[in-house]
C-alpha cells in the first residue's frame, strides 16, 4: 500500500513538472510570436505597421536618405504612412524598431529602395489642350494685317512754290502779263489819237 502510494505521488510530481515546463516555454515564446513588424515602400511613400508590442517604451525610426521621416515612441501598436521626398533616382529608405521588452524583439535598421515614379504620358486631349494655339490663321493674318496709312492730304502738305514770278504776284496782286497789256493799250490810244487827228483834218479841208 505504501509502495503504491509512492508511485502515485512520483507520477503526479513528474506530470506537474512537465506541465510547468510546457507552460513556461509557452509563456516565453508568446512575446516573440506576438511582435509583428511590417513596412513597405513605394515610389512616393513609406508605410509601417507594428502590432502586439509592449504597452509602452517602444521606438520607431524611419529615414529617407539622411532625412528623418518618423521618430516616435509607441505602445502596443503603430501604423503610419508618410510621403517620400521627390527624387530623380532610386532612394534608400531605412526603418528601425527598438522594443522595450528586450533587445531580442528589436530589429533594424532594415533597408529598402524607393524607385523613381514614372511620369504618366499625357492623353491626346491633354496634349491638345496644352499645345499653344497659333495666334491667327494665315487668312486671318492677311485680313488683319494693318493697312498702310493714307498719305496726308494736300491741305496738310506745304504749298508748292508758284512758278513764273509767283512771289511778285503775291506781293503786288498783278499778273506777269501786265507789261504786255499796258503796251497794247498804249498802242490803241496812239492809234485812236491818230484817227481823230486825220478825221479833223479831213473836215477842215472840206469846209
Q: What is the pLDDT of residues 128-166, one digit of tens each?
A: 555 555 555 555 554 555 555 554 544 444 555 545 444
pTM: 0.45
**If you average pLDDT over every residue of the chain, what do you get?**
73
Residue 60 neighbours by CB distance under 10 Å: 22
Rounded Cα gap, residues 146 and 140, in angstroms: 12
pLDDT at 131: 58
Across the range 66-76, mean pLDDT stands at: 94
pLDDT at 121: 59
Rounded Cα gap, residues 57 and 55, in angstroms: 7
Place of cell 529598402: 112
Sheet holding 67-74, edge to edge: 67-74, 58-64, 91-98, 107-114
- Look at the chain and count its residues: 207
- CA nearest 61: which of 69, 52, 53? 69
Phi and psi, residue 194, nearest 5°:
-65, -40
Does residue 58 contact residue 100 with C-beta atoms inside 8 Å?
Answer: yes
| pLDDT grade for 123, boundaries at 50, 70 and 90 | low
Q: Which grid coordinates are listed for 123?
A: 492623353
Does residue 107 contact residue 39 with C-beta atoms inside 8 Å?
Answer: no
Amino acid at each position: 500500500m505504501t509502495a503504491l502510494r509512492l508511485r502515485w505521488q512520483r507520477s503526479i510530481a513528474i506530470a506537474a513538472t512537465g506541465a510547468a515546463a510546457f507552460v513556461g516555454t509557452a509563456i516565453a515564446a508568446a512575446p516573440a510570436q506576438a511582435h509583428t513588424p511590417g513596412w513597405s515602400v513605394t515610389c512616393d511613400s513609406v508605410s509601417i505597421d507594428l502590432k502586439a508590442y509592449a504597452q509602452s517604451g517602444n521606438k520607431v525610426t524611419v529615414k529617407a536618405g539622411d532625412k528623418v521621416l518618423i521618430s516616435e515612441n509607441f505602445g502596443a501598436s503603430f501604423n503610419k504612412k508618410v510621403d517620400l521626398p521627390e527624387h530623380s533616382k532610386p532612394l534608400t529608405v531605412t526603418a528601425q524598431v527598438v522594443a522595450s521588452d528586450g533587445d531580442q524583439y528589436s530589429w533594424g535598421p532594415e533597408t529598402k529602395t524607393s524607385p523613381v515614379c514614372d511620369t504618366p504620358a499625357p492623353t491626346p486631349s491633354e496634349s491638345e489642350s496644352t499645345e499653344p494655339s497659333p495666334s491667327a490663321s494665315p487668312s486671318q493674318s492677311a485680313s488683319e494685317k494693318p493697312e498702310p496709312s493714307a498719305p496726308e492730304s494736300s491741305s496738310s502738305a506745304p504749298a508748292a512754290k508758284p512758278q513764273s514770278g509767283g512771289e511778285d504776284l503775291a506781293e503786288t496782286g498783278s499778273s506777269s502779263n501786265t507789261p504786255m497789256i499796258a503796251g497794247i493799250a498804249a498802242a490803241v490810244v496812239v492809234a485812236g489819237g491818230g484817227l481823230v487827228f486825220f478825221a479833223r483834218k479831213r473836215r477842215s479841208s472840206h469846209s
